[in-house]
Structure 1
């Protein structure tokens, strides 16, 4: 109740023949008014009623019950679990590929593992909660069906094909979160082995028989080996997963940024069936036959469980729309739903708030004084309901803890009395505190132009007071609430109590609280929500206001037929007192009233048609804007890729230029070295040739000298031989001479 979370209860019409489900309307229940004691049920009118001609209502009783643990239903013998030795031996020889879930149709569960060992019951559930940016999955070249295409999510859970309710809008996908559950009979260890073998759960976004994108959710981390947490509380894998288009590599699709990537919110929960089967109400509480809240997904019928969650587009005014009889709740103004038989009650912490402005919707008073003052309402006035909810205050920087109350007054709403939060709450530094009894609503009638002009000119001043029991209250700061911001917010349509079309605008903001004394520095931040509801033209033209400034509707006015006495003879009545004049006057008044009703009906039809055209134009504009955003994102990614390619090309060009310069330098060096080597080689060859030629000359001169020496020696030899011959000849002669001489 502190978080002010409402309950949105939707009503459907179910066709028993075709099982078609049709949304009729919804109601919003406020949890803050719920008490622990049983109260009488109330009738609530359906909002967004499909059958506008009928004032459909639903009777609902809400009570707050204390949760208590269920008592044990007596002693009951259970089957003895298998011995640990056998179980460990069985697990050690278990092949993960051989574990296959087997359907038991009679008892409605899947058996995973041998039945003699696996006897515990579990519930595995998958919930698809939300989806965003799904239009990014539709390529520009893909042709969707000519008729309104239907999209849905598909996945397989233990061999069961599961699809959710189809939806038609990819930009703002509106589908009910659905939970698909299956019962499993197994053990924690065998289930852990099976989940590790079944690596991932694939979820596809489909259009017809074509998959636009898919994501994979790993199941191996759901149940870890030796983990005993599943015996105490459910195990869950929750988060937002990115949908990837099929064949991204083949299509060469660019990678989208994370904030524009198509995502899907999925929750996978595994728990023991004993945990999920615990009752949420005490056993001594009166019980009534109710439909089971959870629908287990049967493998045969394929039923799904629709989980009602808080709608994101519920206006903040719906948090306070339900009336309550509790006087201790926060200050409020009950919305006037009917033209007759209701009183306006404005309750604040310091007492009732007076309203000097006339109430446009009929309200009656049990006793009306004769001297009551009449206020004529202009024909162009609208019935407005303005609500203010001062939610929380945080970031207080005053140097000491304060007992905080907020106080404001806005006479334009018809009340000059100040509105204050109560009781005071203690606020310290670096903490955020939600303010109690901080909601108040005002019903008034005025011209729309005057409302806009006042909201733009006069901001709402909210005073921050420190309430001290021992000293005088201290004004700490002021916050300026610019009420004109609510006029710029988007309008949403809803139906009033009489089936008329009404409009609602809501604005949630945070403003700074500036110091009341000193330099005007920020001392705190105030979060608030304001809502403006336009119930259309006022049906009454005058109301009566008593001395206590209580708003009294003209529809329940009791016209005083006591006329002033006049001195006129009875035989000659006044012309205005004749029956003919009264009948003619009533006829003219009836004609004027019918003309006003007809004009109002035409204006309402015109407004309805204009609003329908505006909604259709806004829808198509949003589609065009989403398409343009998608194109811009694609072009941005392509531009980034092109810029990266250009940078790479520039870098490569610089590298090539540097390499070419290096090559040219090396070439020049090699050329110079080659020329130098060639010159050195030529010089070496020349020197070698010269040396060779010189050596040849030397050798030739040596040969010539040798030949000359040879000739000389040959000549000497010849001369020596001749001389030898002569000497030998002479010796022979001498010898002959000696031999011829006698001894």
Structure 2
């Protein structure tokens, strides 16, 4: 088993179709698309069963194939009809192929119906085969492929490299009969390129076991194309021992030596096909580039490439045949030569094609005629060829062939009727004397033919009555012609004289009745009528030019067998059966079978005259060399052959023994005995020769049967090996599927366990995050509680300060009352003391204000830190807690801001009260006025300094609150601080 490669080919074989309606103007085309790449077949004939025989392939690796299978990428086939004139395409239907069904093992082709087909009456379908092949073109070169090497450079010819890079083509010069390769100024030499198909062996290996070895009406021939000329060999019928004349096809080429070598080095291989009817059974490639590699001086000697090349069957047939053993490979002998033409020879054959065909002479065969070349390898039968004769049984066929050999050796001609009647030749048992008076013209030594007792005597008559409905615009001198070799003669039957047929008229045909008497087996008659129709040709006879074939009409004789039978009495009083059928058939053009030309009316009659009486029919030795029974076809019904007349016996004279008559009679008797002995000797020799021919024929048939048996044994062995290989592959595949299923189950279990583990990890991580968040929230609550306690402590200090302030105020009131009663110096000392106390109180108030600002700064930093912490918490928290955290944070910020605003408002109010009180005290002191000896009229520097410190403290307090980010200029506390700053600045300016 070949090793698997990474590169693969997806091959879609489009073989044929079915259930398509016939349409001569249209062609069928199949376009396949896969992964954005489109491939298409060549247009095929739009008939009921179109033949495509095309393979479409895509390259890809195993990984890409696996991805396409997972994605379920389809292979879509679209069938189109193509108009041969306008080139317009129309969709017929489509087919979608599943890529997962493509396997590497060979499968039988399957029929796929077209979806959304526009043909609703029938359901068209295509025969497709899907295969996955290893792409070995990159791994190793194929052994049956040859790589054309460049022609080696020659001394003194530096233009060979340039010629290899140029585009060289063979241009036909019709008026000169040769092809020109290269520029005209450089083409000075004339060369002759010849291809000879000499022999072929083991061709029966190309036929599968389901195909008959010799199909009825089929011919085997070789086909190839040489410089655009299609060439076919002489047809042959026996594949076991192919007997055909070697044919040499030559083309004349005008070029130079270097140009021609460069042209041949780049030519593709010459493909030689073995064809049967309309299909190719096998082909081989012969490299034309090998002629350029042969180191031969063409001026002195011809360059030749020859050998026996192996014929390879097509891919779809090769799958059923398998590989050929080394000793049973079908081969064809081909020789290709290239030589210089010494003298300019005159072109032979068709001057316009530049092709010359020569066939090897045969001493026993007449010179072959030049057959028309078809532009395609599909071989069509000639227009004027008669229908094929019915098949013969093996025994009767060997006897007929031995008769044919005897006829060729003795100069006799056996008519076709003898072969169709299956008449074995038997030697005559005793000689018979000739009748007097020339009653019989048959020689005494002539052999006799014995008609089988089971054969029936038939009389077939055909009356071609009229022609009508001519489509052609010009009148036609109509003449009908047909032949049916089964009736005993291959000579054509014609209506004469021609009749003038014009458009939209009907004419009767003169002398168109013809009857045939023949003997045949009923089964043989039925098989022949069912298989071989009677083809009637319509000819136009022109006195100034050659006859022209207008069309053909096919008369199906099988309808005559299904018609009603009527009983009648023959001329001898015997009972017979008659069947008559009357019909009109269409005359169609030969090159366009769907175009109707005219209509033909006919009447066909078949009479069964009963069994042929057992008798011996004598073969004549006359110049015509025809059988006496059955008679040749004539223009009127012929009577059945009567048995041979009995010999006439003359009465013996009664003279005495010594008379002259007695002696003459005695001499006559002696002569008759001598002739009888001589006749017996000749009969024994003829019998011996016949027996030898029969033995040789039996030996030949035995060899054929042995070859067929050997071939079938090889085929069966190959099929058995393929079956065993398929069974082993299936077992391996089943094991692989079981292993893959176990692997899949294991992977499912692993994935399930991994999923459960991941789920538990996610739950655990969520629980940890929840606990972490709860812990952090508790910490934040503790911090808030501590802040509340600090706030309560500060509030208590403020309360204590207020109490002390009230106490001081009371003391001040007491002092003021006492001052009013004390002397003046005592008042001065008290004033100084009070000033010192005031300074101390202002210092304490300043320290208290600074500690308050410090607290506010710490509180701002705490807010900033809290904001940053909240931001980090918001980034790390889970998605489901973000909304709650955001709401909680917003509520906390609003609460803190409200509390801060309340605290600052209360502090500010207390400060305002203290300042108002101090201002009131100052105003009272100013109102009383200081002592002249102690106070001066100028403002004291202490007052100015306290005002500046108050102003700087207000500015610092406002800036601190703004830097926290909690307050803005629109808040009430900031606006109040700004107003106080403006008042302080205005008071300082006033002083």
Asked if Structure 1 and Structure 2 have the same fold, meaning a TM-score greater than 0.5 normalized by the shorter chain, the answer is no
Please, what TM-score do these two structures have when normalized by structure 1? 0.37
Structure in which a larger fraction of residues adopt helix: 2
- The structure showing larger relative contact order (alpha-carbon pairs under 8 Å, at least 6 residues apart) is 1
